[in-house]
Amino acid sequence: MTGMKKRLAVAAFATGMVAMAGMVMASGMMKGGAEGGPIAERKMAMKEAKKNFKPLVGMVKGEMAFDAAAVKAHAKALMAALEKAKANFPEGSDKGETRAKPEIWLMKDEFNALFDKAITLAGKIEGADTKEKLAKAVMALGNDGCKACHKEYRLPKKM
């Protein structure tokens, strides 16, 4: 092999290896592997939702002072996190480390409607300008949004 042919062969081999690595990473992402993908994205989004829901519950319980500006900020972040989570249930993302039930993909319209309801209920929190209104809105989201969806579409934790 001449020098030029050898360099071309090495370049072709390297290009093929990069392409193959990309395909392996992409297949891992679809399954929600360590590289990312919908499972990892929705888990992060749900953690963000929880992070923003927790202070709202704290205000309701009197663990922290009611702060209307903080309520608005947490409600907006909560809605954004729920929107992001909802967008990360594509076909094929039921494989991997997930507690999502197969019913999500069998009853996609019902699942999306329940998620939309949770997002709408989170939006109602934004308008809570008193502790009493916040309590009502937080209870509605917790019961009619979060618990309702998790009851139907989330597997229990493994012991």
Q: SS3 for 128?
A: coil
> Model's pTM, two decimal places?
0.76
- In the chain, domain spans: 1-30, 38-153
For 36-104, the DSSP string reads --HHHHHHHHHHHHHHHHHHHHHHHHTSS---HHHHHHHHHHHHHHHHHHHTT--TTTTSSS--B-THH
Question: In the structure encoding, which two tokens stand for residue 32, read together?
Answer: 């929600």
pLDDT in tens, 60-85: 999 999 999 999 999 999 999 999 99
- Give me the CATH code for the 38-153 domain, please: 1.20.120.10
Beta bridge partners of 100: 154
Mean pLDDT of the chain: 85
